[in-house]
Structure 1
Amino acid sequence: MHEIIISAIITSITSIITATITSLLTLKLSNKKNDDKLNSLSDKRLFKSRQLSDFYIPFYRLYVQNVFPESDVTKMLPETATTFLKLFEKHVDLMEHGSQELVKPFQIAYYGWKKYDYDHTLSFDFGKSFLLLTDQLFEEYSQLCTELELPLPAKANYLYKESNDDQ
């Protein structure tokens, strides 16, 4: 009779130990999953902060100093256009997908203008590609600011006029 009671006690203790170990493992794995999720969210937030500090804020400062609030893009100084190009090329990895796709057309327009019209005002193609790219950058910059709960940047109202001479 004692053997049956001892067997039942051992079975009960084994069940309790198994349940406890299973619960602890589940809790541990759940916490690890949550930690990984938090680390992933933290990594994303750090990357977004890096995007802002290393690219979007320098872009915005350059833009405000040289284009904002209502300048005709075709009157941009050649040196300023070159500075924008260098900034875009250096930090293309920090741009969102939409603006990354617009860098190549901007480069083509820039080098086309530089090759043929360097001493003249910027070409219509350059101005158009610049405005497309900067519009996209402002959209992305605003989105990042919203996600990081930061103030939104002011945006210029462009005065880019399409002239018949440039078309």
Structure 2
Amino acid sequence: MTPISQFQPVLVRTAYDKVDSVYYLVQKLILDHQSVTSGLFPRYSKNHEIGFVKDSIYCALACWACSIAYKRLDDDRGRQTELRQSAVKAMRGIMFAWMQQLDNLNQFKKNNLPEFALHARFDLHTGMALTTPNEKVSSHFIRTTFDNLLGLLCIAVHCKI
């Protein structure tokens, strides 16, 4: 038998405590860096100029998952709505940024060349694509344009935007 002095006290954490700790992490690490105007997220917290599609989708997914956890707990503190709306705002920002590239999309349908693929790097304040002369075939282009658009539209329909 083990003496009672060796037992560690069991810390009882409720589901609310666990979800609240995740919420505070999401708030500090993700939501504090969301662009107010475009809804996009920067790749690094110190960079307040450039937003990337992939990083914004991951951040929106984290917000959405945390909002689902609050929804299951039937939380009434407004956190579920805040997280859900942050995810929707990010997805709308991505959709707006890609809609600005309609000419590239039409050219890509005709020619299917990487130089007509949609950009994945945007200005955080305006949501406009960032282009430079030496950017023709670079790693920040999204080559699977239609797959990404289809995925974005499926998420938007699921969010009932």
Give the TM-score of the pair, scaled to structure 1: 0.32
The structure whose residues are more often strand, as a share, is 2
**Higher normalized contact order (CA 8 Å, seq sep 6+, divided by chain length):** 1
The structure whose residues are more often helix, as a share, is 1
